[in-house]
Amino acid sequence: AKIISVKKEKKFTAPPKLYDLTTLQRESNKHFGFTAQQTLDVVQKLYEAKLVTYPRTDSRYLTEDMEGTALDVILNIKDTFDFETVERPDIKPVMNNKYVTDHHAIIPTENLNKTALLGLKENDKKVLTLISLRLLTATAPKEEYELTKIVAECENNKFTATNKKIINHGFKAVEKQYLSSEEKDNAEFGNISENSDYEVTSKVTEHETQPPKAYTEDTLLSAMEKAGKKDFSEDAERVGLGTPATRAGIIETLIKRGYIERKSKNLIPTTLGKEVVSSVPDKLKSSEMTVEWENELSHIAKGGSDSSGFMKQVEEFVRDIVKE
């Protein structure tokens, strides 16, 4: 095989944003197997203990007057958990008034200290640690790496291979102090140059296409958050199915009514659930209805239309559904 192209490019991975409730629930499920309701119950308890800020938020940013507070909390986190932190945390990327409505992102409060941890249960500590670590990683530097892409030609067929070489771990070095990384180290290509020839071997293997994986609470929460998102108007107050405060309750209601069940981390539809879905009119199953109603409610809230007209449409819709 002849190497016909070797391209190297310096790239960056941005730090993650701070937690809103849905993202915290997703990551608690991913790392600890907690249900969305368990996470909500724990973070509510931490809020009532004055260890974290208001939890039922859909914002992942702080307001622009919180830089000093955030820096003080970062020092508290370092002392409380003995985490290594970056020398100069950059608070600017996590502050944006435009993306904060009623409540800012979830972060620890200035009450956080080693003494406060003593009375907490294990699950409480896990969620509090996750929230604390996120503030550290969100304000840490970007990950820097060199991406090498090689194109080789063999018997008139072109093949590509890529390699990622870490230059600076940045925020991922902070993250690895508590969370295990799923990213595997790449074997380096070595000294490969264009127009060089290499002896290669090949083999044919057979594989089967796998069906989509069952939802976990992590992936279901993500799907609920994004449902119909592209169809919402820019001024819509909320997007997706449910709100950060209600999505856990929606999942628990479906389980309680026997429509879905938990099997390990997976959420599986029951026979009853499948029958309900097959018998319900398509309009009621589509996120488009939620999109239409939420957009109309936003329009009404801004004085763009009258609520009586909207309610009349809803009544007609219900009558039509009942007739069907």
Smallest CA-to-CA distance from 217 within 18, 30, 32, 43 is with 30
- Decide: 127 and 166 in contact? Cβ < 8 Å: no
- 198 given a catalytic annotation: no
Q: What is the CA radius of gyration of the chain?
A: 25
Say how many C-beta atoms besides its own lie within 10 A of residue 198's C-beta. 10
Given 54, 99, 178, 259, the catalytic residue: 54
Sheet holding 266-269, edge to edge: 215-216, 266-269, 260-263
Residues 6+ positions from 216 with CB-CB distance below 8 Å: 29, 30, 265, 266, 267
Q: Is 112 helix (H, G, I), strand (E, B) or coil?
A: coil
Smallest CA-to-CA distance from 148 within 167, 168, 164 is with 164
Residues 6+ positions from 13 with CB-CB distance below 8 Å: 142, 143, 145, 170, 172
Catalytic residues: 54
